[in-house]
Amino acid sequence: MVLDPALFGPDHGWRAAFGLGAVLGLAILLLRAWIPESPRWLMTHGRAAEAEALVAAIEARLRREGHALAEGPFPTVRLRPRSHTPLPEVLAALGRYRQRALVGLALMSAQAFFYNAIFFTYALILIDFLAVPADGVGWYILPFAAGNFLGPVLLGRFFDTVGRKPMIALTYGVSGVLLALSGVLFWQELVTAATLTLCWMAVFFFASAAASAAYLTVSEVFPLEIRALAIALFYAVGTAVGAVGPALFGLLIEGQSRAAILGGYLLASGMMVAAGAVAGIWGVAAERRPLEDVARPLAAD
């Protein structure tokens, strides 16, 4: 809407679009002030009283709402509180969990390339191959975004009930196969702008859930103290790989060859299927398990 020249001038519409992103970011910043700190983080930083008070408040609220809480005794771990984790320990931990690191890199890199290659070139496909006016592209992006939203919302619970490994393998694999099929339909000129958008909705219904699970997996299979660092590291590497996607597909689109674009789609499809297989074989079944059980804290005695 903001890119419609009838509403905003060409030199202002894109600025308004960026401004909407800033507004959302500010809203999240305000919401963050209402989210309590993690009890685990408080414990590892020597703030045990705050952690205990926070957990007690959560348990009291659940009891008031009629939820039954599990009875102990529970497994315990003794921690050595400290202000930070030395970098040599971080590097040693990544080396110790190198198989998990490789799984995380495979998942993050594949989804970044897959997502960026398609999303950031979709407008060019619509304009150059399907004769969609530039000011009408947004109406095709909207249902595409709806598929991205509905996937995690409707499939998310199955990653806890069915399990991380099978669901990640399934969603990565299905999204890769659907992309390949969509690419073949595009190559054979069997889709219109509307039907191609429906194809992308189906593809990203699964791909968005897959990518969301990849972030979760990377953050929960490493020791408590380096979870944030792990997700930041793998996200950075995955984004670097994903940055190749728009550049590659831009060249393919410039050549005006549907067969060449199909080759790019098959490359992205293969990466997703391969990453799903890696997760299915070497991933960690972390659902419904304490984080300390999935990976021993570095500060544990």
The runs of H, that is alpha helices, within the chain are: 10-32, 39-44, 48-64, 87-96, 98-119, 122-130, 137-155, 158-161, 164-187, 193-220, 227-242, 244-254, 258-282, 291-294
Does a structural domain hold residue 5?
no
Does a structural domain hold residue 179?
yes
Digit-coded pLDDT (tens) for 99-139: 999 999 999 999 999 988 888 888 888 998 998 887 788 78
Residue 55 clears pLDDT 80, i.e. is over it: yes
Q: Which phi and psi (to 5°) does residue 28 adopt?
A: -65, -40
Asked if residues 271 and 116 have their Cβ atoms less than 8 Å apart, the reply is no
Residues 109 and 41 in one domain: no
How much is the pTM?
A: 0.84
Please tell me which residue, 69 or 279, carries the higher pLDDT value.
Answer: 279
Q: Which two tokens stand for residue 190?
A: 């069997």
Q: Is 216 exposed, middle or buried (0-12, 13-18, 19+ CB in 10 A)?
A: middle
Asked if residues 223 and 297 have their Cβ atoms less than 8 Å apart, the reply is yes
Residue 92 clears pLDDT 90, i.e. is over it: no
In this prediction, residue 248 carries a pLDDT of 86
Cα gap 232→94, rounded to integer Å: 13
Kindly report the average pLDDT of the chain as a whole number. Answer: 88
Residues 247 and 133 in one domain: yes
Over range 41-55, report the average pLDDT: 89
Digit-coded pLDDT (tens) for 138-192: 788 888 889 999 999 999 999 989 999 999 999 999 999 999 999 999 999 999 9
Residues 54 and 175 in one domain: no
When pLDDT is cut at 50, 70 and 90, the band that residue 90 belongs to is confident
Domain boundary among 49, 64, 79: 64
Give the rounded distance of the alpha carbon of 66 from its chain centre. 33
Residues 46 and 120 in one domain: no
87-to-37, 97, 148, 232 alpha-carbon distances in Å:
23, 15, 37, 15
Residues 170 and 36 in one domain: no
Does a structural domain hold residue 240?
yes
Rama region for 283: left / alpha / beta (φ>0; ψ in -120 to 50; rest): beta
Q: What is the largest CA-CA distance in the chain?
A: 66
Q: Please, which residues bridge with residue 79 across strands? A: 300
Share of the chain above pLDDT 70, in %: 98
Asked if residues 68 and 252 have their Cβ atoms less than 8 Å apart, the reply is no
- Whichever domain contains 175, its CATH number is 1.20.1250.20
Residues 139 and 55 in one domain: no
Residue 251 clears pLDDT 80, i.e. is over it: yes
Residue 269 clears pLDDT 70, i.e. is over it: yes
Residues 267 and 178 in one domain: yes
In this prediction, residue 8 carries a pLDDT of 72
Return all residues near 272 (Cβ < 8 A) that are at least 6 apart.
110, 111, 114, 172, 173, 175, 176, 179, 207, 210
Domain extent, residue 57, equals: 10-64
Residue 41 clears pLDDT 70, i.e. is over it: yes
Asked if residues 201 and 143 have their Cβ atoms less than 8 Å apart, the reply is yes
Rg of the chain in Å (alpha carbons):
22
Residues 103 and 160 in one domain: yes
Residues 191 and 50 in one domain: no
Residue 267 clears pLDDT 90, i.e. is over it: yes
Digit-coded pLDDT (tens) for 188-237: 999 999 999 999 999 999 999 999 988 888 888 998 888 888 888 888 98
Total number of domains in the chain? 2
Does a structural domain hold residue 35?
yes
Cα gap 91→71, rounded to integer Å: 37
DSSP code of 165?
Answer: H
